[in-house]
Structure 1
Amino acid sequence: MRMEPVEAAERVIQHDYPDCLLAVLGGSASRGEYNEQSDLDIMVLERGGYDFCRRTIEAHGWIAEIFILSLSSYREYFDEGVIAANPSFQRMIAEGTVLRLLPEGEEVRAEAQSDLDYGPLPLSITDINDYRYVLTEYMLDLKSPRSDGEKWFTVHKIAAILCDFVLRVNREWTGEGKTLFRLFNRFDTILGERLEAALAAMYRQDDPSVLMAFTEEMLRPYGGKLLIGYEE
C-alpha cells in the first residue's frame, strides 16, 4: 500500500541517508498536488563526496528520485543554476518539506533562500537580441512547415523560448518542462491564460495566428522581431 509522501520520504532518509546534513521533499508531493503518476523528489546534502549524484529507486509504493549534493561542492551547482536562471536545487531545498536538518544543512538552506530572494542576473542587450532572433526564425518556420511533425515541434520551441524570454526580461527565475509554464503563469496569470488559448488554437484548430500575434506582442517592447542586421 502506498504511504503518505512525507512518511515514505522520511523512511527513505532513515534507511539510506541517516547521517545526511539536510533532506528535503520537493515537487508535487511536497505541495500536496500529487496524483497516481507522481513520484517523490528528494534532495539530500551529505558531508562527504564531491560530485552530484542522482538515484531512482522504488520504496513504500513510490518511485523516488533522489538528488544528492555534497557539502564541498553544492555551491558549484548552486552557481550553475543562478547563471542559467534556473535554480532548481535552491528552489527544492528552500521551498520543500524538510525531512532532516542539522546546523550545517540549515546554513545551506538559508543560502538557497538567499539566492532565490536575490533573483537572476539581468539580460544584456545581446541576450535580448538573441531571443528576438531565435523567436523570429521559429516564427518564420511556423509559417511554412514541411510536415505536421515539424509544425508541432516548432510550436513547442516557440512556447518554451517565449516563456523563458518573458521571465528573464522581468528578472524572474525560469524552469524546465511543466515547471516553466507554472512559473510563467505565476508571474502573470493573464499572460498564462493567453498562452494557453494560443496553444489551443494551434493544436485544436491548426491556427497559428494567435500564437504568432502573442509572440510579436511580447517582443515589441524590446524591439520586435529581429532578422536582418542580427550579429552574434
Structure 2
Amino acid sequence: MHPQPHPHTGMSGLRLGSNEAAADVRAARRLVSARYPEAIGAMLGGSAARGQSTPSSDLDITVLLPDHGMRRREVLRYDDFLAEVFLNSRSDLRTAFAESRTTRRATAHFLFADSLVLHDSNGHVEALRQEAKALLAAGPDPLTGPERDAQRALLTDLLDDLTDTGPNSDPHEQLAVADRVLREAAHLLTAHHRTWNGAGKWLPRRLRAADPVLGKGLLDGHLALAGHADPTPLATSAIRVLNLTGGPLREGHVDR
C-alpha cells in the first residue's frame, strides 16, 4: 500500500499509470529477493498485476518454495509498500487449487492465471499458471442432484423470510436476509451456468459474468431493497433463479 496518495490521483481510486505499475513490479522483485532468497519462483497478482493499483492497494505476492518449505501467509511493509505474501510449495498450491474448486470460487486459480511472473528459475511457476488457466477454462463441476436440491431448499426458505418483510419491518433484519438471499441466489445461478462464484467485490463481478440479465436483476433488486426497503424486485429475480434450476423446494426435501 502506497503510504501517501499519488499526486495525480489523490484519494479518488483512479487507475494508476504505467510508471506506477512498473514501480509495483520492481518493488515486488526487490522484496522477494531480499526476504525470500530460497524461493524457486514468485508472482505478482491482484490489482498491481492488472495495472490497476490505487493508493490503497497492496502487493499480492505468491512465493513458490522448495518442496520442504513451510506454507504460510505474511503481511509486511517493504520500501513503503504494504505486501501480502503467500508462501507455498507446489504440492501446497495444488491443494489450494483443489480447495478452490470445492468452494466454487477458484481464488487460487484466478490469482495464478492473472499474475505476472517475477522469478521462475525452473519453469515451475509457468507450469502452475498454465494448470490454473486450464482448470479455470474447464469451469467448476456441476452440482450433484442433492447439492442442487439443498441449495433450492435453502433459497426457498430465505425467500419466504424475505417476502414476509416490508416497509415496517426491522430494517436490519430485512437487509440481513436480503444479503443472504443475494449470496445464495448467486451461488445457485453461477453453479447452474457452471461458472465461478465470488465473495466480496467479486460476487457482483462473477454474477454479471455468469448471467448479465438475471445477475443484474439480483444486484439491482438488492440495491432497491437497501435504498427503499422494497423486497419485491430481489424476490422476483430470486424466484426466477429457482425456476431456472427446478423451482422452489419445500415439501419432501431431505437434508443429508
Rounded to whole Å, the distance in 2 between the matches of 1:175 and 1:230 is: 27
2:34 counterpart residue number: 15
Rounded to whole Å, the distance in 2 between the matches of 1:50 and 1:125 is: 40
Matches within 5 A, 1:149-228: 149-228=172-251
Q: Is the 8 A contact 2:218 2:234 kept in 1?
A: yes
Give the SS at the match of 1:83: helix
Q: Within the alignment, does 1:142 sit opposite 2:166 as a pair?
A: no
1:85 counterpart residue number: 104
Q: Is the 8 A contact 1:50 1:72 kept in 2?
A: no
Rounded to whole Å, the distance in 2 between the matches of 1:222 and 1:17 is: 48
Identity %: 29
**What are the Cα deviations for residues 29-76 of structure 1, in whole angstroms up to 9, with x where unaligned?**
222223222222111211144553111112233321111111343222
2:141 to 105, 121, 132: 121
Q: Within the alignment, does 1:61 sit opposite 2:73 as a pair?
A: no
Could you tell me which amino acid in structure 1 is paired with residue 110 of structure 2?
R
Cα 1:50–1:20 shift into 2, 3 Å: closer
Could you tell me which amino acid in structure 1 is paired with residue 199 of structure 2?
E
Cα 1:194–1:25 shift into 2, 3 Å: same
Root mean square deviation of aligned Cα: 2.0
Give the SS at the match of 2:49: helix
2:48 counterpart residue number: 29
Could you tell me which amino acid in structure 1 is paired with residue 129 of structure 2?
R
Cα 1:169–1:94 shift into 2, 3 Å: same
Q: Is the 8 A contact 2:192 2:245 kept in 1?
A: no
**What are the Cα deviations for residues 133-189 of structure 1, in whole angstroms up to 9, with x where unaligned?**
111111122233563222221111111111121111111122221112211112233
Rounded to whole Å, the distance in 1 between the matches of 2:244 and 2:55 is: 43
Give the SS at the match of 2:42: strand
1:98 to 110, 114, 117: 117
Rounded to whole Å, the distance in 2 between the matches of 1:29 and 1:121 is: 30
Cα 1:72–1:125 shift into 2, 3 Å: closer
* TM-score of the superposed pair, with normalisation by structure 2: 0.82
Runs (5+) with no aligned partner, structure 2 = 4-19
1:71 counterpart residue number: 90
Give the SS at the match of 1:110: helix
User: What displacement does 1:131 show?
Assistant: 1.1
Cα 1:139–1:71 shift into 2, 3 Å: same
Rounded to whole Å, the distance in 2 between the matches of 1:42 and 1:222 is: 39
Could you tell me which amino acid in structure 2 is paired with residue 120 of structure 1?
P
Q: Is the 8 A contact 2:72 2:86 kept in 1?
A: yes
Q: Is the 8 A contact 1:85 1:174 kept in 2?
A: yes
How many correspondences in the alignment? 232
Runs (5+) with no aligned partner, structure 1 = none
Tell me which structure has the larger Cα radius of gyration.
Answer: 2
* TM-score of the superposed pair, with normalisation by structure 1: 0.90
Q: Is the 8 A contact 1:51 1:73 kept in 2?
A: no
Q: Within the alignment, does 1:110 sit opposite 2:130 as a pair?
A: yes
